[in-house]
Structure 1
Amino acid sequence: MAENSLVTAVVTAVLTSLLTLAGTYALQSRQEARAQASQFLDAAQNTVQETVAILDDGYNALDKLISATHETGWKEFSQGPWREYRAFERRWHQRMIVQHFKLERYFGKDMADTLIDLDDVPMGPTHTGNAKEDPAVGRYNLQKLAADTEYTVRSMTVTQDIIDEDIKAGKPDGLMEMILAVNSDRDTASRQLKEYDAGSIRLLKALDGRLTELGASKVTVVNTNKKD
């Protein structure tokens, strides 16, 4: 009887120890999982903030580029505002590539491709900047839309150079058509900039939705004026 009691006590102690260890391990696993999820969410939120900065820098640079085209021909424009923009664009493009991989990691490839599609990096403008073209062209690739805008600006200033030269040479033929072309390009560039802004907002809203899915806190507004 004494031996049975001893065996029972030993078995009970062993089982208790095993259960304690299992419980401790499970608790540690849950804590580690929560910590990893929290770290992932923090990194995702930082990625959104970085994306906001990249998009904002792009908008400001494009806006400045368009503003510098007023009655300015390509010869003058290319030596100042355009050269400055190209220097910015090279750095900006590299930032977008790095950001693509971060967005893909935390939010998915669809979000990353909305910023810049590395599977289809354009070698030139994606369209001619014709005002009659579909405004939705390039909507979901903000890097392409920026490239389109820059191309439209170049087209505008090249035509302005021709206008200035023809005026100096006293050649009125086709002058009005070219002036209309410059005005059309200016309208197109303004529309493209607005679409860039709208596309940026769409992307950020989509990222915010993904953050909520990842567990980010979100304020719920309660309508206190609701009638019974």
Structure 2
Amino acid sequence: MKDNALLQTITGAVITTGLTLLGTAVLQKYQNDAAERTRFLDGAQVTAQATTKLLMQDYNALEQLRSSTDKKGFEFYIKDSGQKYEKFYRDWRQQMIQNQFSM
């Protein structure tokens, strides 16, 4: 009878320990998944903000190009403003590509 009670106590302790370890592992997995989702969302938000900044820079450059070439003709565009914008656009495009790969 004593052996049976001792066996039941040990079995109960082993089952309790196993369930506790299983529950802890499942909870840890859920917490890791939640942390991963949060990191992804934070990265996506930073990337979206950087993309918005780049788009605003391009819009401002286009607006500056439009205002500088307004009523001055295509020759002025080719000689002055167009070259400046083309250089800006190449740099801007490179930044945009880097921004997309940083995601």
TM-score (norm: length of structure 2)? 0.87
Amino acid in the other structure paired with 2:66: I
What residue in structure 1 maps to residue 53 of structure 2? 53
C-alpha displacement of 1:81: 1.5
Q: Where do 5+ consecutive residues of structure 2 fail to align?
A: none
8 Å CA contact 2:54, 2:92 repeated in 1 = yes
Whole-angstrom distance in 2 between the partners of 1:17 and 1:75: 83
Matched, 1:68 2:65: no
Amino acid in the other structure paired with 1:2: K
Higher relative contact order (CA 8 A, sep 6+): 2
Equivalenced residue count is 103
Following TM superposition, the consecutive aligned residue runs of length 4 or more in structure 1 with deviations greater than 2 angstroms are 70-80, 95-102
C-alpha displacement of 1:75: 4.0
What residue in structure 2 maps to residue 17 of structure 1? 17
Q: Where do 5+ consecutive residues of structure 1 fail to align?
A: 106-228
Whole-angstrom distance in 2 between the partners of 1:71 and 1:18: 81
TM-score (norm: length of structure 1)? 0.42
Whole-angstrom distance in 2 between the partners of 1:48 and 1:71: 36
C-alpha displacement of 1:79: 3.1
C-alpha displacement of 1:96: 2.4
What residue in structure 2 maps to residue 83 of structure 1? 83
Whole-angstrom distance in 2 between the partners of 1:39 and 1:13: 39
Residue 69 of structure 2: SS of its match in structure 1?
coil
What residue in structure 2 maps to residue 29 of structure 1? 29
Structure number having the greater helix percentage: 2
Percent identical residues: 39
